[in-house]
Amino acid sequence: MLITREQDWWKKAVIYQVYPRSFQDSNGDGIGDIQGLIGRLSYLEKLGIDCIWLSPVCKSPQDDNGYDISDYQNIDPMFGTLEDMEQLFAEAGKHGIGILMDLVLNHSSDEHRWFQEAVKSRENPYHDYYVWRDGVEGEYPNDMRSVFGGPAWQWVPELGQYYFHQFSVKQPDLNWENPKVRREIYDMINWWLDQGVAGFRLDVIDQIAKDPELKVTCNGPRLHEFIRELSRETFQRGHYLTVGEAWGADVERAKLYSAPDGSEFSMVFQFEHICLDQIPGKEKWDLAPLPFLKLKEVMEKWQTELYGCGWNSLFWNNHDLPRIVSRWGNDGIYREESAKMLALLLHGMQGTPFIYQGEELGMTNVRFAPEDYRDIETVNLYRERLEAGYSQESVMESIYAKSRDNARTPMQWDDSENAGFTGGTPWIKVNPNYQEINAAEQMTRETSVWSFYRQLIAFRKRYSVFADGRFTLLCREHPQVFAYIRENESERLLIVCNFFGGRPEWPAECREVCNAGKQQGMKLLLSNYSDSKKERCPEMLRPYEAVMYYSTK
């Protein structure tokens, strides 16, 4: 079934990210697959989401879990076949759900046909599809480092050259300066558009316009020229949702990425808020507390400065980030309250919310033994830091807090063995708390995190203020409370969140808005304590308490 979509439909949409290898296995090999996902579409429909962002399922040696593609127009046998994919598009359509494919265009796999040709000789027509530099054996062209550790250059003795890889050695960077590369990419994207996708997520798109000579990887000089050409040649054929992953985006750049004239993408996926617990100039592994006031400032900046001239995505989680409830909430006794508070805080804002699988259950981080980690980044980090003399204990603390595998443990469907994810042995261990935290239990309980997410999604469809209201931050300097107003011509929302486990008084500023709202019949729309309804703005906020009031004007 083809869903007809209007221009800007994505402004009211909610996206759900599926990391396919960890979502649902259908054939007992321990790895999630497309048929497994098809079997769970009614779950997603019940939740109310509009689209699935599907992490890569294309053919891949899986060095970086599919972010190393060896054939962009085929499906990895581990996940299924092109026919399964066709079936997924059709079945998802029946559930009113669109599919966003993950486009990995900065690099391919070294097992891609282009690269296999490229290494044959310097004269091979595909040689220039990648980024090469001559070198004296044993000496790198420069000191650039790969994101996953080690040098960004790999020596190919037969050619007497190095190739450039910002990620693993098995992810050689594509040379976007070569117009033939760009043409091949556009043709491939157009082919996917013809298969019936609803749009794309563009992996590390801000790194495509690299210039290793100048040691530039992110935001290269030709970046927006390339993106505009890409958009013109592909997405502008219809009303697609396109989201560019951009770790290096500031607000000004985001305005380009998400310009309302549609010249680049629909929206940007930027990380400023989520990197705040990282010390500038240090690695993410060097743990630091979250500067709460700074979080408010950064969120406010994005909410106000993009208003009317750009579009943001809203997220706490993805497959590269630890679980938010463990990170900035409380995964102990206030797990449910804090998971809901974080959800409400984010889903009240302007932008397109992205929910990462299991977030809607309040799934938590894991603490595995070193040998149980699977992620290439984590495995490399462990080895490198031990070699560099860090203590085992401190390395494991970093991994517990920030490893990408925190997000990659299997989806917790029910309390049966392996959480209902697989009948076989899962490729990565299941979080041992699945008997307590699972979808089956939460779907039948009105007070669950799942039910809370479901209501938030429904509100975004019901009240237009969620999509178009202006944002005003309240209580800017309050050390515990995050509160704001959203308002358009006819509606108003007040959101008050106690971000921590204390019991602060209701801030006067919020109380005033609440009292003034009484005339307009301001009512409680949602809260994470079942008895918040009894009183309008009581004396105190309880641990992680979050409330959302609504009125018409």
List the one residue out of 462, 457, 364 whose CA is nearest residue 405. Answer: 364
Q: Which of Ca ion, ligand GLC, none is residue 29 near (CB under 5 to 8 Å by kind)?
A: Ca ion
Q: Which of ligand GLC, Ca ion, none is residue 408 near (CB under 5 to 8 Å by kind)?
A: none
Q: Which residue in the list 64, 102, 173, 245 is annotated as catalytic?
A: 245
Q: How far is the CB of 79 from Ca ion (least distance, A)?
A: 8
Note whether 203 binds ligand GLC by CB under 6 A.
yes
Supply angle C-alpha 153, 396, 150, rounded to 5. 5
Q: Please, which residue, 152 or 525, has the CB nearer to ligand GLC? A: 152
Q: How far is the CB of 430 from Ca ion (least distance, A)?
A: 15
Residue 412 CA: distances (Å) to CA of 324, 407, 539 = 16, 12, 38
Q: How far is the CB of 85 from Ca ion (least distance, A)?
A: 15
Q: Which residues fall within 8 angstroms of residue 50, CB to CB, at 6 or more apart?
A: 10, 13, 14, 15, 96, 97, 98
Q: Which of Ca ion, ligand GLC, none is residue 463 near (CB under 5 to 8 Å by kind)?
A: none
Q: What is the DSSP code string of 380-438?
A: HHHHHHHHTT--HHHHHHHHHHH-GGGGTSPP---SSGGGGS-SS--SSPPPGGGGTS-
Note whether 25 binds Ca ion by CB under 5 A.
yes
Note whether 437 binds ligand GLC by CB under 6 A.
no
Would residue 117 show up in a list of annotated catalytic residues for this protein?
Answer: no
Per CB under 6 A, contacts with ligand GLC among 221-260 are: none
Would residue 194 show up in a list of annotated catalytic residues for this protein?
Answer: no
Note whether 204 binds ligand GLC by CB under 6 A.
yes
Note whether 405 binds ligand GLC by CB under 6 A.
no
Q: How far is the CB of 202 from ligand GLC (least distance, A)?
A: 10
Name the DSSP letter for residue 170: T
Q: Which residue's CB comes closest to ligand GLC?
A: 67
Q: Please, which residue, 25 or 337, has the CB nearer to Ca ion? A: 25
Q: Which residues fall within 8 angstroms of residue 365, CB to CB, at 6 or more apart?
A: 322, 323, 326, 327, 331, 400, 401, 406
Segments of 186-333 assigned E as strands: 199-202, 241-246, 267-270, 313-314
Q: Please, which residue, 64 or 545, has the CB nearer to ligand GLC? A: 64
Note whether 354 binds ligand GLC by CB under 6 A.
no
Q: Which of ligand GLC, Ca ion, none is residue 33 near (CB under 5 to 8 Å by kind)?
A: Ca ion
| Segment (H or E) for 16 | strand 15-18
Of 1, 27, 73, 187, the residue at the interface with Ca ion (CB under 5 A) is 27
Tokens of 242: 């396109």
* Residue position matching structure tokens 């006794």: 333
Partnered with residue 482 across adjacent β-strands are: 497
* CA–CA separation, 502 and 210 (whole Å): 47
Q: How far is the CB of 104 from ligand GLC (least distance, A)?
A: 5
Q: Which residues fall within 8 angstroms of residue 165, CB to CB, at 6 or more apart?
A: 107, 146, 152, 153, 154, 171, 172, 173
| Segment (H or E) for 549 | strand 546-552
Of 19, 23, 43, 67, the residue at the interface with ligand GLC (CB under 6 A) is 67
Tokens of 439: 């979808």
- For the chain, first and last CA: distance in Å? 40
Q: How far is the CB of 167 from ligand GLC (least distance, A)?
A: 5
Q: Which residues fall within 8 angstroms of residue 32, CB to CB, at 6 or more apart?
A: 19, 20, 21, 22, 23, 24, 25, 79, 410, 411, 421, 422
Q: Do 48 and 64 form a contact (C-beta atoms < 8 A)?
A: no
Q: Please, which residue, 33 or 245, has the CB nearer to Ca ion? A: 33
Q: How far is the CB of 419 from Ca ion (least distance, A)?
A: 15
Q: Which of Ca ion, ligand GLC, none is residue 454 near (CB under 5 to 8 Å by kind)?
A: none
Range in contact with Ca ion (rule: CB under 5 A) among 23-31, 165-173, 431-439, 539-547:
23-31
Per CB under 5 A, contacts with Ca ion among 274-303 are: none
Strand-pair category, 15-18 with 51-54:
parallel
* CA–CA separation, 89 and 68 (whole Å): 23
Per CB under 6 A, contacts with ligand GLC among 266-295 are: none
Q: Do 497 and 344 form a contact (C-beta atoms < 8 A)?
A: yes
Q: How far is the CB of 247 from ligand GLC (least distance, A)?
A: 7
Sign of CA dihedral 332, 338, 339, 340: positive
Of 25, 33, 63, 64, the residue at the interface with ligand GLC (CB under 6 A) is 64
Q: Please, which residue, 181 or 344, has the CB nearer to ligand GLC? A: 181
Q: Please, which residue, 38 or 407, has the CB nearer to ligand GLC? A: 407
Note whether 76 binds Ca ion by CB under 5 A.
no
Q: Which residue's CB comes closest to Ca ion?
A: 33
Note whether 31 binds Ca ion by CB under 5 A.
yes
Per CB under 6 A, contacts with ligand GLC among 102-121 are: 104
Q: Which residue in the list 25, 33, 64, 203 is annotated as catalytic?
A: 203
Q: Please, which residue, 50 or 63, has the CB nearer to ligand GLC? A: 63
Note whether 320 binds ligand GLC by CB under 6 A.
yes
- Chain residues that interact with ligand GLC, rule: CB under 6 A: 64, 67, 104, 167, 203-204, 319-320
Q: Just list the catalytic residues.
A: 203, 245
What residue ranges bind Ca ion (CB under 5 A)? 25, 27, 29, 31, 33
